Structure formats: structure tokens, C-alpha cells
Copies of this chain bind each other. A is one copy, B any other.
Amino acid sequence: MPLQTGGILTDTAKEALIEFGDGYSVCDFCLGSVCDMTKPPVREFARELLPEFLGCEVATLTYGARDGIFMVMHSLTQPGDSIIVDENRHYTTIVAAERVGLNVTEAPHSGYPEFRIDVNDYMPLIEKHNPKLILLTYPDGNHGNLTDAVRLGEIAQENGIPYVLNGAYAVGRMPVKMNDLGADFIIGSGHKSMASAGPCGVLGMKKKWKEIVLRKSKVYSNKEIELLGCTLRGVPLITLMASFPHVKERINHWDKQVVKAQWFSSELQKLGFKQLGEIPHRHDLLHFETPTLYDISKHVRERGYFLYEELKDRGIWGPQPGMTKAFKVSTFAADKDQLGFVVDSFKAILSKYS
């Protein structure tokens, strides 16, 4: 699945996977609080390295981005409260809000073909709905649009509303710091973008939210209620930690990732494919409409399956069998030669059937 390439394990993570595979192996060394464990060095990772990386004061581990979103909503809101989110939000934002019992209003995108979010559209909605928090998906998983998160931080601060940045496709791929964006919370995904086994995520926050989101049990004073006493444990945590030095380094090359994505997009556009989302594009997640491929599918015996077969014959896996109208792709893990091969393959397929 080309969308998930940010979660491909590093070699170090693969070794750790074997070493810590057994059940609760991480917990063998735990004295009651996984984030305070020194061997393996979870404490240093969760208390120092991760907050620094996320640009926040306090960080914790989660099962994934959706679980971090739910934790924040469940801690800061009551059933019946309102929240504002962007229309490009991941479906789990809606489901997490339903689990809490919230009323969700969406700041609209600009529609086809760019689907841009104008964060100024949050302002009248804040006025009208008096939300308990606002959320921005940065970037969204459908089009890879990078909305003006800094401006939304200003709006949030002007209105005194907690601001959650869902960075599931940003944290671990590109430089992103919570403080620079004026957000209250930043959410990342280990399996999507931090070279970790799933399920695995991270949640960073301002210090002032610690007592609320990471509130402790009244009965067990070292256990955080919203984490059910333990955060993430076992294999995913270990792979997250093992991959972290590599992940921390790779975000420094983000400008090259953007150049690569833009080049790939321009090459596919020359073939009559239409890139959706922002142009010029600033993220490796890309969404293309492919009318030239769809036209072919109407005339060949295999219908839509011809594309899957043609790509498979060339060793390319990606679009779901039968689909020819559009596809999503990430250029993150592929180098320029590999992407060039994909471009050439599409060229060859188009000329074969033309």
C-alpha cells in the first residue's frame, strides 16, 4: 500500500522486532510506569527525545493517531460539546468524536480539484458554535494538502481554544514542531510515518494540559487514567525507539522529498493524469485522476483489471485491482530512478493500448 511507506521499518527496528517479540517482553523491566523505564531507555525517549522532536513540553505514547485524538477529546470535552475540524479530516476524527458524543462542524474545503482549507473559515464557526477544541489535519491523507497551520494557531490563541494538530502524515516525514505552529497538541503515527510496527503513535502537548490529559488515577497514583495505566508497550514501542535516530535524521532531507514529489507529479501530468490537491504540491502524498487509463478500461476485455495486471507484470504494486479512474500514491520511500520506472511503465501501457 503506497500510502503507508512512512512506516517501513529500518534495519535496527527489524532486529529489535525479533528481540522484543515475546508478549510483554518490554514489561519485564517495568516498575509500574512504562514512560519511566530506563532499560530499554523509554524514559529518555518519552521524557526528553520525543518532546524535543515534537516541539512540545510533554509527550506520551499511544496506540496510534486515532487513539491520541480520542484521548484529547475525551479529556477536554463533555458529551454534547461542539468541536470544529477541517473537512479534509481523517474518518477517525469523526468516529473519535462520536465515541465521546460531540457535535462536529467542519471548516469546508474549496472542493474539486484542489480541496484547499482556508483556516479563516474557522473564525465564523468558532463564533457560532463556541467549540471546546479545534482540529486541523496536516496534511490530510487524501490529497496531501498542507494548510496554514500557523495562522490557525493565531486564531486558536485569539479565541482561547485548544488546538489539536493531527500530524499523522507529517511527524516523522517532514520538519514539524508544535510550538512553531501555536498548537496545544500534536499527534503522530508510528506505523504511518515513524518507521514503526503498528499499532503505535505519539501525542505531544503543552505542559498546561498534562494534568488534564495525563491525569492520574485516584487509586493508583502512578497510573494515567486516559492511558488505562500503561501506554503503548511491546514490539511497536521498541521499533519506534529503534527507528527514531533514523527518523529524526531523515526529516532534514524533506526539501528533496518535495522536489521528488513535484517532479513525479509533473511527469504524470504530461501523460494526461490530473493531480488533485494543492499545486505546486508540498507533500509526498499525491492523488491523481487518470482519465486516459479509464478510457482504456472501457475498451479492453479485462476491463479495469488490465491496469493491475500490466503494473504487476512490471513488478509495481499499488492501485487496487479493478481501479483505473484515480489512485493515491506516496513518493516517500521510492528514489527518483524507481519513480522514473513507474512513469515509463505508465507511458508504455498508454502507448500499448492507444
Which residues of B sit under 8 angstroms from A4, Cβ to Cβ?
A: 22-25, 27-28
Which residues of B sit under 8 angstroms from A24, Cβ to Cβ?
A: 1, 4, 7, 191-192, 198
At the interface, yes or no: A272 with Cβ under 8 Å from chain B? Answer: no
A228 touches B70 (CB 8 A): yes
* 6 more A-B residue pairs beyond the given contacts A9-B21, A91-B220, A198-B234, with a C-beta to C-beta distance below 8 A: A17-B235, A22-B197, A27-B198, A91-B229, A99-B228, A199-B236
Q: List 22 A-B contacts (CB under 8 A).
A: A1-B27, A4-B22, A4-B23, A8-B22, A9-B21, A13-B21, A14-B21, A21-B239, A23-B192, A24-B198, A26-B198, A67-B228, A91-B217, A92-B228, A92-B229, A95-B220, A95-B229, A98-B218, A99-B226, A199-B199, A200-B234, A235-B235
Interface residues of A in 1-55 (CB under 8 A from B): 1, 4, 6-9, 13-14, 17-18, 21-28, 31
Given A4-B28, A21-B239, A23-B198, the answer on whether A95 and B14 have CB atoms closer than 8 Å is no
A14 touches B9 (CB 8 A): no
At the interface, yes or no: A171 with Cβ under 8 Å from chain B? Answer: no
A100 to chain B, nearest CB (A): 10
Least CB separation from A24: chain B residue: B4
Quick one: which of B9, B92, B220, B235 contacts A94, CB cutoff 8 A?
B220
Number of copies: 2
Quick one: which of B8, B63, B95, B191 contacts A199, CB cutoff 8 A?
B63
At the interface, yes or no: A258 with Cβ under 8 Å from chain B? Answer: no
Which residues of B sit under 8 angstroms from A197, Cβ to Cβ?
A: 21-23, 234-235
B234 touches A234 (CB 8 A): no
A63 touches B66 (CB 8 A): no
At the interface, yes or no: A339 with Cβ under 8 Å from chain B? Answer: no
Which residues of B sit under 8 angstroms from A200, Cβ to Cβ?
A: 234
At the interface, yes or no: A287 with Cβ under 8 Å from chain B? Answer: no
Bound together, the chains give a CA A278 to CA B30 distance in angstroms of 27
Chain B CB within 10 Å — which of A92, A98, A190 has the most? A98
At the interface, yes or no: A96 with Cβ under 8 Å from chain B? Answer: yes
Least CB separation from A26: chain B residue: B198
B23 touches A18 (CB 8 A): no
Quick one: which of B9, B95, B229 contacts A225, CB cutoff 8 A?
B95
A192 to chain B, nearest CB (A): 6
Q: Identify the 10 closest CB pairs spanning chains A and B, nearest first.
A: A7-B23, A198-B234, A23-B191, A1-B28, A4-B24, A66-B228, A197-B235, A95-B229, A8-B22, A24-B191
At the interface, yes or no: A233 with Cβ under 8 Å from chain B? Answer: yes
Which residues of B sit under 8 angstroms from A17, Cβ to Cβ?
A: 17-18, 21, 235
At the interface, yes or no: A84 with Cβ under 8 Å from chain B? Answer: no
Least CB separation from A66: chain B residue: B228
Contact pattern, A 293-307, Cβ under 8 Å of B = 1, otherwise 0 = 000000000000000
Bound together, the chains give a CA A74 to CA B74 distance in angstroms of 12
